[in-house]
Amino acid sequence: MRHILALAVLAMAASLAIGQTTEKKPDQAKPAGEKVAASSSSADQDLIKLDKEWGEAGLHGDTAALERILADDFMGSGPTGVMTKAQSVAQAKSDSANITDATYIADEYTVRWLDKDTAIMFHRAVEKGKNKGADYTDQHRSIHVWKKVNGRWQVVASQALPITQQPAQ
């Protein structure tokens, strides 16, 4: 039931974000969905910084950072299925034991605000490294729902979709 609820929240958040035109953000008014640039609000930049920290924490199995960034009721969905916070933290810890020489680069951020304490983030990420000594590349696009919980930003829901490699022509 929680899995269905989390997916419904993501679907509702995405539909709300798509239908939104202009929203007052904590620091300034800006058209919803505008690409985040150096001149974006400090709230956008705070979320982007946290998102990049989350990606690095997952890559390196930093469970303390993951515990802080993921909300207790976090639900995430991706190629391996739907996971809770505990499952996500455990998987990151397990996977990181096999990963070396890895980098995580996220870009193409778009942040949309539903209210001053709720934001939806879209972005692309590329992870490269070695898994058990073999080169790997993981590219995906994500949507995250960020909520200010007890005065700090946390991810309450997330969806990652793989970017498939196009065959060389």
Q: Where in the chain are the domains?
A: 2-162
**36-92: pLDDT as tens digits:** 444 468 999 999 999 999 999 999 999 999 999 999 999 999 988 999 999 999 999
What pLDDT sits at residue 164?
86
Q: Work out the burial of residue 18: count CB atoms within 10 Å of its CB; fewer than 13 is exposed, 13-18 middle, 19 or more buried.
A: exposed
What pLDDT sits at residue 114?
97
Q: From CA 72, how far away is CA 84, in angstroms rounded?
A: 8
* Contacting residues for 152 by C-beta, under 8 A, at least 6 apart: 68
Q: Work out the burial of residue 19: count CB atoms within 10 Å of its CB; fewer than 13 is exposed, 13-18 middle, 19 or more buried.
A: exposed
CA distances from 61 to 20, 77, 91, 97, 122 (A): 36, 19, 8, 8, 23
**What kind of fold does domain 2-162 have according to CATH?**
Nuclear Transport Factor 2; Chain: A, (3.10.450)
**98-155: pLDDT as tens digits:** 999 999 999 999 999 999 999 999 999 999 999 999 999 999 999 999 999 899 999 9
